[in-house]
Amino acid sequence: MMGYAHAAGYPKCCLHTGSESFAERFSVPWDRLERALVLLEAGHRPEILLLQHPKTEVKVAVTFFSSVWSKAYEKVGTPYGKVHRDFHYQCLFAAMSALVEIGCTKIRVENPMSGHYWRKDAYVCLAEAVRNIQRLMNPSVFVHLEPGSYNEQMVKDVDDSQSAYNMQEHRPIGISMHLFEGLNMRTIFVERAEIALRHA
């Protein structure tokens, strides 16, 4: 089963440009999906929205997650400034794990800093999340990046130095599931790593 993980918003408070086609594809009224994406970007905590096709034979799903341009990110970092690694790790892990839970083994991931190239520190968060999902949920999960969101040299540089990087183990993530106008939403309670581990 194929999954997509997309940032909900783009710079200048624009919603994801492909969201209208996703509404049609997943048989969700556009105005309802639009309100959900606005909530993801305007809420004070990061959120995940999971869409599954109503027909079980259609093997595709998508998660939208609060982007770096969201109000939730404003509380912990500056858009396209210094990366708040706990925010990125926890949003990416929650978005991908929701897809893995429903059977996705191939996932295409969009940059949390939607509209920009991946930066090394955000990319390392993705690498940590993928490693921990493979280790804790499904070792056969394969993740690749949205075309045009990275340059090959940057990915090669990160991959080459990966063994020297101190990868973080998975830490508890507070996730609260709820429905918003019939849509499957999850609120993420982002904590800095040292606080989450202390509370574990």
Residue-wise pLDDT tens digits, 88-143: 888 999 999 999 999 999 998 887 776 677 777 777 788 888 888 988 999 999 88
Number of independent structural domains in the chain: 1
We report the CATH number of the domain holding residue 62 as 3.40.220
Domain that holds residue 107: 2-199
pTM of the model: 0.84
Tokens of 94: 């929650």
